[in-house]
Structure 1
Amino acid sequence: MKCPICKHGETRPGVATVTLERGGAAVIFRQVPALICDNCGETYHEDDVTRELLEQAEQAVSEGVEVDVRRFRKVA
């Protein structure tokens, strides 16, 4: 797909690092499936990946995590 941000690049499948912060907590996910623009580097995630990221981050914050780095795992 044509990148909606830069309007020049095409997105390609790859993996990205995503950092989510809330209330003083930071959860960093590595190896997150994404579509990445080959021109500007902007990343896009499928709805199910986004939903899973938010659920895992919410769980980490509710467990009292302040900083957490983890490899993304999609729950079946």
Structure 2
Amino acid sequence: MECVICKHGTTRSSFVTVTLERDNCIVILKQVPADICQNCGEYYLSESVTAEVLQKAEDAVNKGAEVEIIRYVA
């Protein structure tokens, strides 16, 4: 896939660390599968992975975590 940000790179499958912040809660998800641009480093998550990441982040916020570090497991 051609990168929609830099328009020069192509993507390859790998893993990224996703950091999300809402209110006073920081959620870090490690080893998240993504397609990463080889030129600029922008990453793209699939729809299903995005839904899981957002659900895990929502769960952390709801339980009152200030900092949550999660190793992503599909």
TM-score by length of structure 1 reads 0.95
Which contiguous aligned blocks of 4+ residues in structure 1 show a shift greater than 6 angstroms? none
Structure 1 gap segments, 5+ residues each: none
TM-score by length of structure 2 reads 0.97
Identical-pair percentage: 54
Give the Cα separation in 1 of the matches to 2:58 and 2:52. 10
Q: How far does residue 70 in structure 1 lie from its aligned partner after superposition? A: 1.3
Q: What letter matches 1:69 in structure 2? A: I
Q: What letter matches 1:47 in structure 2? A: E
In the alignment, is residue 58 of structure 1 matched against residue 66 of structure 2?
Answer: no
Q: How far does residue 61 in structure 1 lie from its aligned partner after superposition? A: 0.7
Structure 2 gap segments, 5+ residues each: none
Count of residues in Structure 1 that have an aligned counterpart in Structure 2: 74
